[in-house]
Every structure is written in C-alpha cells, then in structure tokens.
Amino acid sequence: MPKAGEHRAAPAPQNGRGRGRGSGRVVVAGASGLIGTALVESLRADGVEVHTLVRRPPAAPDEHEWLLDDTPLDPAVLDGAAAVVSLGGANIGRIPWTPAYKRELLASRMRGTGTIARAVRALGADAPALLSASAAGYYGSRPGEVLDEASTRGRGFMSDLVAHWEAAALGAGEHARTVLLRTAPVVHAKGVLAPMIRLTMLGAGGPLGRGTQAWPWISLDDEVRAIRFALDHELAGPINLTGPTRATANDLGFALAVGLNRPFLLRAPAFALRAALGRDLADGLLLADAHVVPEALHAAGFTFTHHRVEAAVAAAIDAMRARA
C-alpha cells in the first residue's frame, strides 16, 4: 500500500502515447454509472471515439466484454488508445455497510482497477494514460484543516479503502500517466442528493449531526469537465475533484430544502446516525469534516462552472424537474 501523502501531481511520461489528445480514442470502464454516462456523452458529443468495457456480451463494435470470469483484460483492447478511464466499483451509497458489503466495496475496486492496470502495464512504453476513480474520503475527517493533494491520508474505513484502490491503479507502472481522481460526492439527483431528496420531500430534512461539518462536493457538470481537463492537459498523480468553495452539510441540506420548498428542521443526532447506519458509514460519509480543496486543478488553470454548492444544488433540481 502507498505511504500516506506520497503521490503528488507530476508531469506526464513523455512516451508519445497515453496523452489526452493522442489517438483520440478513450476507453471507459463504468460507463453505465452516473459519471460514466455523462462522460461518455460529453466525449462523443465532441467527436471523440469512445469504447466501453461491459460486463455482458458486447452489443456493438465499440463494446468489449470484461470481468465476467477470471480472464485477464486483453491489452489489445487498450492498445493505441489515448486513455483509459476507470470508474467502476460497488456503490458507496448503498446501506447498510455490513461486513460482507465492506468486503465487496474493496474487492470490486481492487478487481476492476487491478485488471485494467495490468493490461495497461503490459503495453509498456506504449501504455495509454490511466485516469482512475478515487475519492475525497482519502483524507478522512480532519476538522479545521485545509486538505490539498499533498495532505496525508486520514484514518478509518474510507481512507483505507481509497488507499488500497489507488495502490491498485498505480500498478499500471512507470510508463503510464496515472491520474487518481479523488472525487467528492456528486451533487445530483442520482448522486449524493438521492436519499436527501426523499427525506426532504417528506418534510424530514434537517441537520445531520452538528451539520457544521465541511462536506466536499462537486457538480456533475464540473466532474465531467475536470476529468476531461485532466485528460487533455496531461495531469498526473492525485487530483481533488471538489468544488472550489467550502460548504457544510447544512449548506447543502438547506439549499436542497429551499429548492424543493420544504422545511429544514429535523436534526438527526450523530448517535442516532451511527446506530442506524453503523459507525463506519455514518462517520465516513455523513459526519466526516473535511475541507478538501482542488489545488491541482486551480494550479493547472481549470475554471469551475458551479462555484458554490447552492448553485450546484439548484442546477441539480432544475435537471431533475426537466426530466420529470
């Protein structure tokens, strides 16, 4: 496992491939998820050739079967691609986190990411870039700190999970430009807002624990734009995909209540959340206090569409209503 804080943004290997604009072909694993679907749509809208890794018999020439058994991913699937984007893994938001499901959370990430990394490594100097999903949960709960990509790893189940996940991605080897996408919870009706919308619509919205804990966040639009920015600008190492301004759990919850015209009154005490959800889930997702900043993106010149969590929530509500 990597030592805490040892991976930092670095220049890409100059090997002629694995560049964001290389051949123009991008391979995506996890293309059916929230982020993967939006990323594939964005790339294809701009004329980028996208191939996807699917866990079923392929239905089109640009689909490639994988992970249906223990067969390794054929490196030929990735040969000549500009990049591989790995977004797979069991759903962090599913509850409860039983001991068996915590093992699944880890195993699904290690298997998928490790399979891709080994195929990338097998291509040697011709390896494409690997952009691998990770999570802002790497930093744990750190009240009062400002956490950038140079900050050390935190403690707890989520921090351990992310450290193992990133170690699997780094198995792609020295020839691959590897990007660790430390993503914050995505502010979207199918993302972090999903359970909150249900509670808020029932009039049961309110502070979670103290409610003043800093919550990392990012809009779906900026998530996709940031992944494409990292791809095109040859960034490497860990990159925090988080919104540019600090937000608390209350900021997000209250913005949602206002947008849905519902009250924000019923506090869920920390002890009740731990009793109902388990300590690992409650402390790792809902009660953690982590002000994670996108320093690497700022330094590279990325500009955000949604600068404040209130704007991201409003955009998510507008998108939800447009689909209704």
Q: Give percent of the chain above pLDDT 70.
A: 93
Q: What is the pLDDT of residue 13?
A: 40
Strand partners, 181: 133, 239
Q: Give the separation between CA 311 and CA 317, rounded to whole angstroms.
A: 10
| CA-closest candidate to residue 238, choices 154, 161, 135, 140 | 135
pLDDT tier at 70 (50, 70, 90 boundaries)? confident
User: What structural domains and CATH numbers belong to the chain?
Assistant: 25-186+218-243+292-306 (3.40.50.720)
**Cα separations (Å) of 301 from 48, 79, 296?**
23, 30, 9
For residues 311-322, give the mean pLDDT: 97
pLDDT tier at 18 (50, 70, 90 boundaries)? very low
**Cα separations (Å) of 61 from 53, 58, 73?**
11, 7, 16
For residues 174-194, give the mean pLDDT: 97
What phi and psi, each to the nearest 5 degrees, are found at residue 110? -65, -40
Q: What is the pLDDT of residue 95?
A: 85
Q: Which residue has the tokens 């780094």?
A: 170
Pairing status of strand 237-241 against strand 146-147: unpaired
What phi and psi, each to the nearest 5 degrees, are found at residue 323? -85, -20
Q: What is the pLDDT of residue 17?
A: 37
212-249 pLDDT tens trace: 999 999 999 999 999 999 999 999 999 999 999 999 99
pLDDT tier at 279 (50, 70, 90 boundaries)? very high
Q: What is the pLDDT of residue 23?
A: 56
For residues 256-269, give the mean pLDDT: 97
Residue 8 clears pLDDT 50, i.e. is over it = no
| CA-closest candidate to residue 88, choices 103, 108, 73, 67 | 108
- What average pLDDT is seen over the chain? 92
Higher-pLDDT residue of 247 and 16 is: 247
82-141 pLDDT tens trace: 999 999 899 998 888 999 999 999 999 999 999 999 999 999 999 999 999 999 999 999
Helix axis angle, 99-122 to 157-169, nearest 10°: 20
| CA-closest candidate to residue 240, choices 309, 291, 175 | 291
| CA-closest candidate to residue 283, choices 133, 188, 142, 164 | 142
Give the global pTM. 0.92
**Edge-first strand listing for the sheet containing 63-65:** 63-65, 49-54, 25-29, 83-86, 129-135, 178-183, 237-241
For residues 28-36, give the mean pLDDT: 96
